[in-house]
Amino acid sequence: MPTIAFLGLGAIGAPMARHLPAHGFDLIVWNRTRERAEQFAKAVRARVAATPAEAARESDVVITCLPTSREVEALLDGDDGLLAGFRRGAILVDCTSGDPVTSRHIATRLGERGVAFVDAPVSGGKRGAEEGTLTVMCGGDIASVERARPVLSAFGKNIVHCGDVGAGDMVKAVNQALLAIHIWATGEGLATLAKAGVDTRVALEVINTSSGRSNTSMNLFPERVLSRAFPRTFRLALLDKDLRIAADMAREVGVPAPLTQLASELFGEARAELGEEADHVEAVRVIERTAGVEIGT
Ligand code: NDP
């Protein structure tokens, strides 16, 4: 069985990595904050690497799951960096929700060293990661994606080849723009209904058997907004980053995308107001504050 290195044991990375030993892979982990990796290795059969180079040196497949492509690219360089450790013929599978331009740049740099690259962002949230049912959107040549597939299958259910390097990032960015637009639109609609005196639980039940329903209205709002639980599973700051990628992409290819641009502005403002640790669904709090009403009470 190949040896896998997993770098980035954050909210989604840790539950993804946890599946690998159970699927028979030898696992090496690295995390910027080492204690987090030590903690992980206490619970899961894995070795802790001191540096990215050390993790890569012993591995056939290296998986990264960091906030943005910028941090992934920064991990390549220096004496302790991935490039210092990669074996020829290895593959870097980047599960970060990245940006296609940086992914292509990383792929070129790795290609010069005989290392393959696949961008492989995921969807399905923390729960999907825990259950091993994530959707994985892959960009890269078919041979590399097929090499990555058995590893990705440890935590993914739908593993789809979307196109060349960057295509996975692009599909993910559009998915995230849709998620953000659904959150904001559902929040606006329910705030309006609440202020007009309509019971939002009743309204949501009606919408959820009608044509305006979405994963956001069916799952996120009942579980997180109406319950007032607002669990922190996916940072608003990361959704803001995704929206910027989607907006930049539309601009680059010359598609007018006013909704995506507006969502990017609104979530950027929400991030500034609520901070780096707020969950993405907490953007609804901004709508509630400006509307002077609480949804679900
Ligand atoms: P978190 O913020 O929870 O974790 C980020 C991870 O990256 C941590 O391991 C952190 O290390 C590490 N990190 C941060 N900055 C650096 C750096 N400069 N150098 C090296 N390591 C760094 O993020 P998530 O796990 O939630 O998200 C990771 C990626 O997955 C993002 O691109 C996100 O958009 C995407 N994603 C997240 C989902 C979710 O539900 N959370 C769902 C789908 C995709 P440290 O422990 O030291 O802070």
Task: List the domain boundaries for the chain.
Answer: 3-164, 170-291
CB neighbour list of residue 289: distance below 8 Å, 6 or more residues apart: none
Using an 8 Å Cβ cutoff, are 224 and 231 in contact? yes
Q: Determine whether the shortest distance from the Cβ of 12 to ligand 1 is under 6 A.
A: yes
Dihedral sign for Cα atoms in the order 150, 153, 155, 160: positive
Question: CA–CA distance from 73 to each of 26, 27, 69, 100, 188 (Å)?
Answer: 25, 22, 6, 12, 38
Q: Determine whether the shortest distance from the Cβ of 11 to ligand 1 is under 6 A.
A: yes
Q: Give the position, in ligand 1's atom list, of the atom nearest the Cα of 96.
A: 32
Question: Ligand 1 centre from 114 Cα, in Å?
Answer: 27
pLDDT averaged per 10 residues in sequence order, the chain, 297 residues: 96 98 97 98 97 97 98 98 97 98 98 98 98 98 98 98 98 98 98 97 98 98 97 98 98 98 98 98 98 91
Q: Determine whether the shortest distance from the Cβ of 71 to ligand 1 is under 6 A.
A: yes
Using an 8 Å Cβ cutoff, are 152 and 93 in contact? yes
For position 1, what pLDDT does the model report? Answer: 84
For position 13, what pLDDT does the model report? Answer: 98
- Which amino acid is present at 26? D
Q: Determine whether the shortest distance from the Cβ of 66 to ligand 1 is under 6 A.
A: yes
Could you tell me how far CA 8 lies from the centroid of its own chain?
Answer: 12
Using an 8 Å Cβ cutoff, are 230 and 224 in contact? yes
Q: Determine whether the shortest distance from the Cβ of 57 to ligand 1 is under 6 A.
A: no
Question: CA–CA distance from 225 to each of 129, 220, 271, 285 (Å)?
Answer: 22, 7, 18, 9
Residue closest by Cα to atom 6 of ligand 1: 10
Question: Ligand 1 centre from 278 Cα, in Å?
Answer: 14
Residue closest by Cα to atom 16 of ligand 1: 71
Tally of residues, the chain: 297
For position 296, what pLDDT does the model report? Answer: 83
255 in the Ramachandran plot: left (φ > 0), alpha (ψ -120 to 50) or beta?
beta
Other Cβ atoms closer than 10 A to 292: 8
Best residue among 158, 232, 234, 276 to mutate for probing ligand 1, ranked by most atoms within 8 Å of CB: 234
For position 297, what pLDDT does the model report? Answer: 65
- Among 247, 198, 267, 206, CA closest to 99: 247
Q: Give the position, in ligand 1's atom list, of the atom nearest the Cα of 7.
A: 9
Q: Determine whether the shortest distance from the Cβ of 146 to ligand 1 is under 6 A.
A: no
Same fold, 3-164 and 170-291: no
CATH 3.40.50.150 corresponds to the domain 170-291 = no
Active site residues: 172
For position 225, what pLDDT does the model report? Answer: 98
* Structure tokens that stand for 40 in this block: 């992980």
CATH topology of domain 3-164: Rossmann fold (3.40.50)
Best residue among 65, 103, 158, 172 to mutate for probing ligand 1, ranked by most atoms within 8 Å of CB: 65
For position 5, what pLDDT does the model report? Answer: 98
Rounded CA-CA distance 44/112 in Å is 35
For position 151, what pLDDT does the model report? Answer: 98
Q: Give the position, in ligand 1's atom list, of the atom nearest the Cα of 97.
A: 32
**How are beta strands 3-7 and 156-163 bridged, if at all?**
unpaired
Question: Ligand 1 centre from 13 Cα, in Å?
Answer: 7
Rounded CA-CA distance 93/45 in Å is 21
